[in-house]
Structure 1
Amino acid sequence: MKQILTCLVLFSTLSFTTAQTNNSLSFDGVDDYVETFLNDLSGSEITIEYWFKGSYLSSAIRQQGGGQYICSGYSYHHPDDPDHILSNDGGDGDPIKVGAASIDGSWHHIAMTWKQDTENGYRSFLDGDLIDARNSSNSPLPGITDNLLLGAYNGTGQFLNGILDEIRIWDYSRSQEEIQSTMGSELTGDETGLTAYWKLNTGNGTTIYDHSGNSNHGTIYGATWTVSLTYVPDDNFEQALIDLGYDDVLDDYVVTDSINSVTFLDVSNDSISDLTGIEDFIALTTLWCYGNYQASGVLTSLDVSSNTALTELNCSYNQLDSLDVSNNTALTRLECQSNSIDSLDVSNNTALTHLDCGINWFVGGLDVSNNTALNWMDCQKNNLETLDVSNNTALTYLNCYYNNLTSLDVSNNTALDRLILTWNEVSSLDVSNNTALTYLSVIHNQLDTLDVSNNTALVGLFCSENNLDSLDISNHNALTWLECYSNAMSYLNMRNGITDALTIFNATDNSLTCIETLDPGYATANWTYANGNIDEGVTF
């Protein structure tokens, strides 16, 4: 009998199987089995469930002695269409079917339930679906004293050929809904009615451990531990993992244990078109996959639903057409700019402090009402017609450049330091409460007036290409940049004492004749028509 560690591929198309990301136990169909310490399944009800992948479902879960037996997975009479058999209810002459698909070589969840003297009380489920059912007998489950085995009849024959994982035995008949609700995830072990629970995750040694608290451990005879492999079909993604030291051979598979504890992953600018396999990076807190938009690979989809520990995700500069972050409730930083995402739901991401979703051309708008922790948001170039930031009172940076906004209420955003509203259709804007503003850009809107008298901390003011007829910045002695060209201004008050600190100044294309300053001499010498600061003929 073998006592070695083998490596088998556990990839399956069943996305809900826990067996894809954990160890399990392989039986060779010749002489492998496990003997457990469990020796009493008597009673009026039972549920046996487990995951199986293989070609011969024989004696998967079997207790037999004194002519009595309980066996889930029995192929002696029907090797191509296995059965469940109970000696107290028809035996092997009147079994119920497991389902022929169970031995097709893919992972399947198998469950048998039995309840004494009940209509349809003897049932079989495959992958959560009801396969077979009939009325149960009035005889209780036999009291067998022999130990329950996995994979063999008495350790001498009818051996299982395949892999077992996540074996659970209950002392009651579980409903279909109960089976479906837990078959794709690990149990805590303290669930009511749990008789035995073998996770089969140990990965080494000759003992399997019962996690039900009932100490029904088992001894391995020949069966070998498998190592989970994660399917990575994109060669560029796998090569990036090789370069990072998480893999060694370009063969579409990566050992799951080498990646499932990784917390930071940077696979940016690697020409990756498919990130299948990212689901097994379950410990990731930071994922950078931006810039995968080259001729040799374009990333068009991204599934991070299994990466629930993520706090930072940067998937910018790709061609994603959708992004689901509803499971990523720990996210504090999300950057997904420059994709083709038509809508973004961040309602579950209440921890977000940084959101960069610009240049996506949203169809359905953007709702950030739940994201009260946001202090930085860029939503430029998204076709937004409305934007409500009234709940985002922590915002210090807001960029709404190039949308279709007709109004924006920032009265609650008193912490704002930078507001960029360039290229919209806003006709009025009240920034009287935003006294912390240092940078305000409202270029190319439809503003007739702009009162910045309370915004004395402004360093940069950009209000060109509007319909302003006047502007008073007499209290703004921190300004270094002023652009107010292409308006209809006939009045500009710059009596703030600033001279050479104002390094950029453009008030051209207006109706000004005289600009008020505290130092007309300096202004006349330095802010000139020749330098592009004012229209010809304007004086100070």
Structure 2
Amino acid sequence: MMLLTVLKATYVKYRSLAIPQFRSLSFVCVLMLNVLISAAQSNGLHFDGTNDFVNFSTSITNLNKADFTIEAWVKTTATSCGIVNCSNGNTSWETGEKVFFLNSQGRPTFVGWGNDFINSSTAVNDGNWHHIAVVWDYSGSGTTGTPYIYVDGVNTTASSNYVANNDNLGTFKLGMPNYWGSEAPNFFSGSLDDVRIWNVARTQTEIQNNKDAELVGNEAGLVGYFKLNEGVANSTNTSTTTTADATSFGNSGTLTN
């Protein structure tokens, strides 16, 4: 069963410290501005790993010969499971399917058609919240470009033979497998939060500066923004059936289980 839990009402980045006996206001202010509270979420949308996924009716952005960035907060102990999937939803591997998933070692991986992978060197399946992002910086011609995978803002790209190739023009899904045994044969088990889809190649600095902050929804290049904060925290929320898109594109998703 899909458990909807609410993420923090606002992303709090800084807090005040009660520091007795200090008389220098400027010194206290410096401390207030430099105590960073991580926005890694304690809540989010929980997936049971059996049949839970979120289905969108559109492809949201081009994952073929174009720039793109996919970001998400994840909390899991699972492996070999789908996170963001663009496919026709068949219960088998599809030509041109694109999947951002955790491999058998719990490392974020992006795969296109065939053996076109972008691999990370860092596992994130330790049961803690992690921010992950895959970026494809398309060259503008042919099938070449520069790939990146970031974990908590750090470039962890280990290897890649990814090229811009076939796209099956499927629709986006969260938590769905691609049914390929050596890739993502399993539904996602754990929690997802704050999923962002961009039609631009975000830089490492942009990712680092914004991963802990709630967006407005009208940022340049942002074509899908899913806060996954519907419902009441730690409840099953059976009456909640959709998750909203915070951009003007209105690509709301349907909760399925």
TM-score normalised over the length of structure 2: 0.71
Q: Matched residues in 1 for 2:153 and 2:4: separation? A: 31
Question: Between Structure 1 and Structure 2, whose CA radius of gyration is higher?
Answer: 1
Q: Matched residues in 2 for 1:44 and 1:56: separation? A: 31
**Residues 135-154 of structure 1 aligned to structure 2 (within 5 Å):** 139-140=164-165, 142-153=166-177
Residue 116 of structure 1: which of 132, 138, 162 is its match?
138
Aligned AA for 1:110?
Answer: I
Q: Matched residues in 1 for 2:39 and 2:121: separation? A: 18
Structure 2 CA distance for partners of 1:3 and 1:133, relative to 1, 3 Å = closer
Residue 212 of structure 1: which of 247, 250, 254 is its match?
247
User: Which residue of the partner structure matches residue 109 of structure 2?
Assistant: 83
* 1:86 positional shift: 2.2
* 1:122 positional shift: 0.7
Q: Matched residues in 1 for 2:160 and 2:107: separation? A: 21
**Residues 455-494 of structure 1 aligned to structure 2 (within 5 Å):** none
User: Which residue of the partner structure matches residue 99 of structure 1?
Assistant: 122
Aligned length: 207
User: Which residue of the partner structure matches residue 313 of structure 1?
Assistant: none
Aligned AA for 2:61?
Answer: L
Q: Percent identity?
A: 30
Residue 56 of structure 2: which of 18, 36, 44 is its match?
36
Structure 2 CA distance for partners of 1:170 and 1:5, relative to 1, 3 Å = closer
Aligned AA for 2:191?
Answer: I
Indicate the SS of the match to 1:177. helix
Indicate the SS of the match to 1:56. coil
Structure 2 CA distance for partners of 1:84 and 1:145, relative to 1, 3 Å = closer
Higher relative strand content: 2
Q: Matched residues in 2 for 1:41 and 1:177: separation? A: 22
Q: Matched residues in 2 for 1:199 and 1:98: separation? A: 27
* 1:98 positional shift: 6.1
1:121·1:133 contact (CA, 8 Å) conserved in 2?
A: no
1:26 matched to 2:51: no
Q: Deviations over 1:325-354 (max 9, x none)?
A: xxxxxxxxxxxxxxxxxxxxxxxxxxxxxx
Indicate the SS of the match to 2:135. strand
2:83·2:174 contact (CA, 8 Å) conserved in 1?
A: yes
1:27·1:151 contact (CA, 8 Å) conserved in 2?
A: yes
Indicate the SS of the match to 1:179. helix
Gaps of 5+ in 1: 9-13, 223-540
1:178 matched to 2:206: yes
Structure 2 CA distance for partners of 1:138 and 1:105, relative to 1, 3 Å = closer
Q: Deviations over 1:269-297 (max 9, x none)?
A: xxxxxxxxxxxxxxxxxxxxxxxxxxxxx
1:98·1:110 contact (CA, 8 Å) conserved in 2?
A: no
1:197 matched to 2:232: no
Aligned AA for 1:171?
Answer: N
Residue 98 of structure 2: which of 65, 70, 75 is its match?
70
Q: Deviations over 1:246-276 (max 9, x none)?
A: xxxxxxxxxxxxxxxxxxxxxxxxxxxxxxx
* 1:83 positional shift: 2.0
**Residues 119-518 of structure 1 aligned to structure 2 (within 5 Å):** 121-132=146-157, 139-140=164-165, 142-153=166-177, 158-203=186-231, 204=237, 205-222=240-257
Structure 2 CA distance for partners of 1:6 and 1:202, relative to 1, 3 Å = closer
* 1:24 positional shift: 1.4
Q: Matched residues in 2 for 1:116 and 1:136: separation? A: 14
Q: Deviations over 1:434-474 (max 9, x none)?
A: xxxxxxxxxxxxxxxxxxxxxxxxxxxxxxxxxxxxxxxxx
Q: Matched residues in 2 for 1:147 and 1:185: separation? A: 27
Aligned AA for 2:48?
Answer: D
Structure 2 CA distance for partners of 1:32 and 1:121, relative to 1, 3 Å = same
Indicate the SS of the match to 1:185. coil
Structure 2 CA distance for partners of 1:171 and 1:136, relative to 1, 3 Å = farther
1:50·1:166 contact (CA, 8 Å) conserved in 2?
A: yes
User: Which residue of the partner structure matches residue 38 of structure 2?
Assistant: 16
RMSD: 2.9
TM-score normalised over the length of structure 1: 0.35
